[in-house]
Chains A and B, each alone.
Chain A
Amino acid sequence: MFSRITSSLALAAKKSPKLKISSIQQTLYFSSESPAIVSRAQQEWVYRMDVNGQESTTPIPAYRVMDEQGCVIDPSQEPKIEVEKLLKMYKSMVLLNTMDKILYESQRQGRISFYMTSFGEEATHLGSAAALNNDDLVYAQYRECGVLVWRGFGLDNLMNQCYGNKLDLGKGKQMPCHFGSKDINFVTISSPLTTQLPQAVGSAYAYKRAKSNKCVICYFGDGAASEGDAHAAFNFSATLECPIIFFCRNNGYAISTPTKEQYRGDGIAGRGAAYGIKAVRVDGNDILAVYNATAAAREYCLGQNKPVIIEAMTYRAGHHSTSDDSTAYRNIEEVKLWQQEDNPITRTFKYLANKKIWDESAQVDFEKEVKSQVLESFARAEKVKKPVWSEMFTEVYHDMPKHLRNQMKSLRGHLDRNPQQYPLENFT
């Protein structure tokens, strides 16, 4: 029965040609959304029971522009990105990578409390961020630091947040890596997974109504996609017709849980059709493929006021966080393979080198420069005092209610009587 439905869907898909995005010349197609079966009247019937239909579907292929050697496979697919922008994308990846190494080490030395690296996923950040307008709203999970780098958040802001010093825009209230900035349209990160997905849909709906010509991009991991909020968001975005890009970083693991324990369908892109959402799967270590897919998705979602799912296939080359030792659940050889054979930064380097706009000596100079920038910024942030303790009571509400004022007052009295018991000297 199901196989007949599948084939009738395939037939219907053939009748309505797949969506083609004008900015990309040929092969990048979004999967066809299923023709909606909204009532019994539109239902076709079959007369043989068959439960195998689901398994016969072919997995959605991953879109790729260049190979591991940085060679473009189909020249028509090479995006026309000006050299300056290309170099900025690459340099941002290197900067992110350098910062990750230094902050990871600083956590190991106990200088910051927590950190999460982006090793192996740099291309998903920079490829997508570069394809958006800077006033498109970003909702992120926590491993999308490259988007901040791209938008000019600046090393100091990143360091200040990790230190929770008084220059931190978040005033030291959240754990490290929970970045946010109104100025660059990057909604403050929170720890509960996937909560940002339905929120991003709501923001996209508001943008649509305001005729802002802005879209929303919402990043999340393959593990987060199992939360109920992901289901809610996909379904709301489709029925309420919202200009949103759901960007899934499928890096193979949610902490220790491999994807085969996370889902049994065709990844995250495979869910698109069930919600009536167009989806595309890309090679997440290919910055050009990610760029093309995001640019096409942006054009589509703003043009049609409809959602898109991008599933970027990548690999989490670092530990989940500084609180995790990933050798406890995966093979070091596997990690090395990805770090060395299919590394997004190396691949982009080769592409740029092939084009003769970057080389080894430029690389060495840049790495040196970036390393000293990171270290300087790090040292600056470390010296800045924490915010005044009373900041703890602010911004719970727009105006501080009386009961909170009283609680603040009582703490003040306590601190006056017991100053030696608290780290007041570190705070302003």
Chain B
Amino acid sequence: MLCTRSVPRFLGQLRYLLKNSARAEVRYASHYKYYEDKSKPSNGETARINMYNAITEAMDYTLQKDPSAILFGEDVAFGGVFRCSVGLQKKYGPDRVFNTPLCEQGIAGFAIGAAVAGATAIAEIQFADYIFPAFDQIVNEAAKYRYRSGGQFDCGKLTIRTPCSAVGHGALYHSQSPEAYFAHTPGLKVVIPRGALKAKGLLLSCINDKDPCIFLEPKILYRGAVEEVPIEPYEIPLGQAEVVIPGNQVTLIGWGTQVHVLCEVAEMAQEKHNISCEVIDLCTILPWDEDTVYKSASKTGRVIVAHEAPLTGGFGAEIAASIQENCFLSLEAPVRRVTGFDTPFPHIFEPFYIPDKWRCLDAVVDIVRY
């Protein structure tokens, strides 16, 4: 049954691949096509830069304007393994941009303490996969600092930056998307940009925010996300989603790299199936923008949430349950989740693991036929 059903689909996909051979090549290099961010967070001059440059600019500005600001982690002094802090130690000195010993719980604890004493602390965890040794410091300490002291002490001046998500060959420990673990922790803010422009504005918001923030940077976008970014500093509000592509039949919700996958899915759905999709970039995982999501869900009546992280306990579950609770009468179909599978993130099987545009497109077609 399964075989006979999947043959026509496979042939359809093969035809599509052959017809779009240029895109098919892209498919094997990476699983997404980059959609430039055309929003204008400020009216000033812009320059065409990639995401790691945008992150460097945000940190450069912070170090320049805030003498208490420090930037630290493993290997940040020489510029970082992803080049995000290039030139900053030279510009601001080794007491402000420095390497720490190789110990994530130490980095997080040290960062909390610096923030408690009034410093703006920007800590880097080299890969999000290695944030778990710092989980106790983040969940039990950073998140609860203000609450447990009755507001006497806080570590709001803390931001933890960390590269996350699929990169093509990162396997188990260079591919994880751990946002759902942190979304279950009151007191934290969790933010993921989808490109250079968002990265700069959201990172500056995180740094200036009065609560501890975890800033997850999809590492595949560091070089891949190139677009016009304002030269001057600007902030993009936390807790606010963005409707990237408006539509009226299906709402597609994602964050990070997945937003680009969903943009392409929306194009394909329109071209191939004449289905109009609305694409939403959630931007902030915690606290998330319920209003924008419910408004879209109520309009389209059909929602698909897509994320790279595994299905069970993923943040898609939170969104789906909330939509069902708040938009029940508007829904025309059950909310669908297209996600990574409930396995560790594999090496050679990555193309089969990730919720790519084909799996998402399948879901769009299914949900419209429901």
Contact = CB atoms under 8 A, between A and B. Distances in A.
Contacts of A236: 100-101, 103, 106, 110
Interface in A191-244: 192, 195, 197-207, 209-210, 228-229, 231-233, 235-236, 239-240
A411 B15 CA distance: 56
B68 A173 contact: no
Contacts of A404: 186, 287
Contact of A397 (B117, B149, B187): B187
A403 interface: yes
A356 interface: no
B148 A170 contact: yes
A372 B276 CA distance: 77
Interface string B174-212: 000000000000110100000000000000000001110
B141 A401 contact: no
A180 B152 contact: yes
A182 interface: yes
Interface in B116-132: 116-119, 121
A181 B152 contact: yes
B68 A206 contact: yes
Contact of A201 (B95, B110, B141, B144): B110
A229 B156 contact: no
B136 A188 contact: no
B151 interface: yes
A403 B109 contact: no
Contacts of A233: 106, 109
A76 B113 CA distance: 38
A199 B106 contact: no
A399 B210 CA distance: 9
Given A168-B150, A228-B105, A206 B137 contact: no
Contacts of A397: 146, 187, 189, 210-211, 287
Contacts of B146: 395-398
A190 B112 contact: no
Scoring B105, B115, B117, B119 by chain A CB atoms within 10 A of each residue's CB, the highest score goes to B117
A181 B152 CA distance: 7
A190 B148 contact: yes
A169 B151 CA distance: 9
B75 interface: no
B113 A402 contact: no
Given A198-B110, A401-B287, A403-B290, A188 B153 contact: yes
Nearest to A214: B117
A171 interface: yes
B106 A232 contact: yes
B306 interface: no
Interface string A372-383: 000000000000
A300 B198 CA distance: 47
B60 to A, nearest CB: 18
Given A173-B150, A195-B141, A398 B210 contact: yes
B103 A209 contact: no
A395 B140 contact: no
Given A178-B148, A197-B109, A236-B110, A206 B103 contact: no
B211 A173 contact: no
Contact size range, B:
35 or more
B70 A398 contact: no
B103 A232 contact: yes
B303 interface: no
A206 B153 CA distance: 15
A190 B141 contact: yes
A188 B149 contact: yes
Interface in B138-165: 140-141, 144-154, 156
B105 A232 contact: yes
A233 B137 CA distance: 13
Contacts of B186: 396, 404
Contacts of B148: 170, 173-174, 178, 188, 190
Contacts of B156: 398
B109 A229 contact: yes
Contacts of B136: 192, 195, 229
A231 B150 CA distance: 30
Given A192-B140, A239-B100, A199 B113 contact: yes
A112 interface: no
A137 interface: yes
A190 B210 CA distance: 21
Interface in A375-428: 394-399, 401-404
A24 interface: no
A38 to B, nearest CB: 13
Contacts of B106: 198, 201, 229, 232-233, 235-236
A209 B116 CA distance: 14
Nearest to A187: B153
A197 B148 CA distance: 18
Contact of A199 (B95, B112, B149, B239): B112
A170 B133 CA distance: 28
Contacts of A198: 105-106, 108-110, 112-113, 137
Contacts of B51: none
B213 to A, nearest CB: 11
Contacts of B133: 228
A399 B133 CA distance: 29
Contact of A195 (B98, B111, B115, B137): B137
A181 B137 CA distance: 21
B96 to A, nearest CB: 8
Given A201-B109, A239-B101, 6 more contacts: A188-B149, A192-B136, A199-B137, A205-B119, A396-B187, A397-B146
- For the complex of A and B, 4 pairs with smallest distance between CB atoms: A202-B113, A198-B109, A232-B106, A199-B113
18 contacts: A171-B150, A173-B148, A173-B150, A188-B145, A188-B149, A190-B144, A195-B109, A195-B136, A199-B141, A202-B110, A202-B112, A202-B117, A202-B119, A206-B119, A209-B70, A229-B137, A240-B100, A398-B211
Interface of A: 137, 139, 168-171, 173-174, 178, 180-182, 187-188, 190, 192, 195, 197-207, 209-210, 228-229, 231-233, 235-236, 239-240, 394-399, 401-404
